[in-house]
């Protein structure tokens, strides 16, 4: 059985599943259930995709009613009023916020650039501790109520998972080792940018947190990941400390989690944060365009390494007079040393 590819990394689910604490009995059962799920429900690019519905944004939100059959009962379509079900309405609004960035700012017609309807299912399973993109739709659990709350509550999570769909339609980066960590990182980048764009925040104003608001008050943590300071998102007596590295010196060699994709993504995450904050202003305007154009440009192999992706971002950044900033950011996280760094002329 392969690793589940949802927003909650498997190392965290395993930690919860191993707890022997009566306060978290529901969470333990939920984590074990999430780990036991098979991957045909997770990031499967061959599932039937929703039929085109004409130009423009088309949202559909379904309710699984705590079952695991997809898509569930259709409860809100494009243009329908709010339902009063907070998960349904958060998913609907989150899809709109994601489309507002990709369509409204970057001119992309949905994640496939062909007006793919944005479809989601809420109330998936019972106390389900994850959210994922399955190749056709987003799926949200309600959380266990002890460690995790509902997964629609975080706009960065919605943007993150829909970006996995964008990646499938573009560079199709393999989901393992460094290309998998890039896949996770790019999803974090645009998850953060969706949230920042919706709030009108500059790079300096943003939290740079992924999954803020998911943890209950019983957890000493701000989010699942921090792009500005990888390894600091949570430090909890029960969950332990966030293990993400932010520098190549601390790169984690492992066979778990498809080669540590949720862990080592902290390194390119930090590089993007450095680019965005050094350039200043709204991160989606230049830094985001550089990352998106790199993804769309056709220069990446499916097995792209950090070094290869970084060089491709420099080439794109030259169009924005930002090649030096981008090169310095990748050097700061250890992808290169001073002696191995590409010259600014490569941008």
Q: How far apart, in whole angstroms, are the C-alpha atoms of residue 269 and residue 332? A: 12
The reply to whether 161 belongs to the active site is yes
Asked if 271 and 208 count as a contact pair (C-beta separation under 8 A), the reply is no
Looking at the DSSP assignment, which residues form a beta bridge with residue 225? 210
Report strand pairing: 118-122 vs 138-140.
Answer: parallel
Q: How far apart, in whole angstroms, are the C-alpha atoms of residue 287 and residue 36? A: 38
Asked if 243 and 11 count as a contact pair (C-beta separation under 8 A), the reply is yes
Extended beta strands in 106-232, E state? 118-122, 131-133, 138-140, 209-210, 225-226
Q: How far apart, in whole angstroms, are the C-alpha atoms of residue 245 and residue 68? A: 34
Give one word for 208, left, alpha or beta, with left for phi > 0 and alpha for psi -120 to 50. left
- Peptide bond between residue 71 and the one before it cis (omega within 30 degrees of 0): yes
Catalytic site residue from 42, 43, 164, 262: 262
Q: How far apart, in whole angstroms, are the C-alpha atoms of residue 184 and residue 347? A: 25
Catalytic site residue from 43, 146, 160, 161: 161
The closest alpha carbon to 131, from 112, 149, 110, 113, belongs to 149
The reply to whether 41 belongs to the active site is no
Q: How far apart, in whole angstroms, are the C-alpha atoms of residue 138 and residue 31? A: 19
DSSP structural state of residue 230 = T
Q: Which two tokens stand for residue 238?
A: 């029960």
For the chain, the straight-line distance linking the first and the last C-alpha, in angstroms and rounded, comes to: 42
Catalytic positions, please?
A: 161, 262
């Amino acid at each position: 059985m392969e690793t589940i590819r949802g927003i909650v990394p498997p190392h965290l689910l395993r930690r919860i599943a191993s707890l022997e604490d009566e306060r978290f009995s529901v969470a333990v059962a939920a984590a074990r259930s999430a780990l036991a799920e098979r991957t045909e429900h997770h990031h499967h690019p061959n599932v039937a995709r929703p039929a085109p519905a004409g130009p423009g944004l088309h949202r559909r939100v379904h309710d699984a009613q705590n079952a695991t059959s997809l898509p569930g009962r259709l409860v809100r379509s494009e243009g329908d009023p709010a339902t009063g079900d907070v998960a349904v309405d958060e998913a609907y609004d989150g899809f709109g916020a994601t489309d507002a960035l990709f369509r409204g700012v970057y001119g992309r017609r949905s994640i496939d650039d062909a007006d793919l309807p944005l479809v989601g299912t809420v109330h998936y399973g019972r106390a389900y501790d994850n959210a994922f993109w399955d190749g056709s739709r987003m799926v949200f659990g309600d959380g266990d109520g002890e460690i995790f709350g509902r997964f629609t509550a975080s706009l960065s999570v919605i943007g993150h998972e829909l970006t996995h769909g964008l990646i499938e339609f573009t560079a199709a980066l393999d989901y393992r080792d460094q290309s998998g960590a890039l896949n996770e990182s790019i999803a974090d980048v645009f998850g953060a940018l969706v949230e920042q764009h919706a709030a009108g925040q500059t790079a300096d104003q943003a939290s740079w947190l992924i999954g803020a608001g998911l943890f209950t008050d019983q957890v000493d943590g701000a989010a699942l990941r921090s792009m500005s300071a990888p390894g600091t998102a949570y430090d909890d007596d029960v969950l332990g400390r966030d293990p993400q590295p932010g520098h190549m010196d601390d790169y984690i060699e492992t066979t778990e989690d498809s080669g540590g994709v949720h862990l080592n993504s902290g390194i390119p995450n930090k590089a993007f944060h450095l680019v965005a904050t050094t350039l200043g202003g709204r991160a989606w305007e230049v830094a985001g365009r550089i990352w998106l154009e790199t993804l769309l440009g056709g220069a990446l192999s499916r097995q792209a390494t950090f070094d290869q992706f970084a060089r491709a971002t420099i080439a794109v950044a030259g169009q924005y007079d930002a090649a030096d900033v981008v090169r310095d950011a990748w050097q700061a996280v250890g992808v290169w040393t001073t002696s191995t760094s590409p010259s600014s002329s490569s941008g």
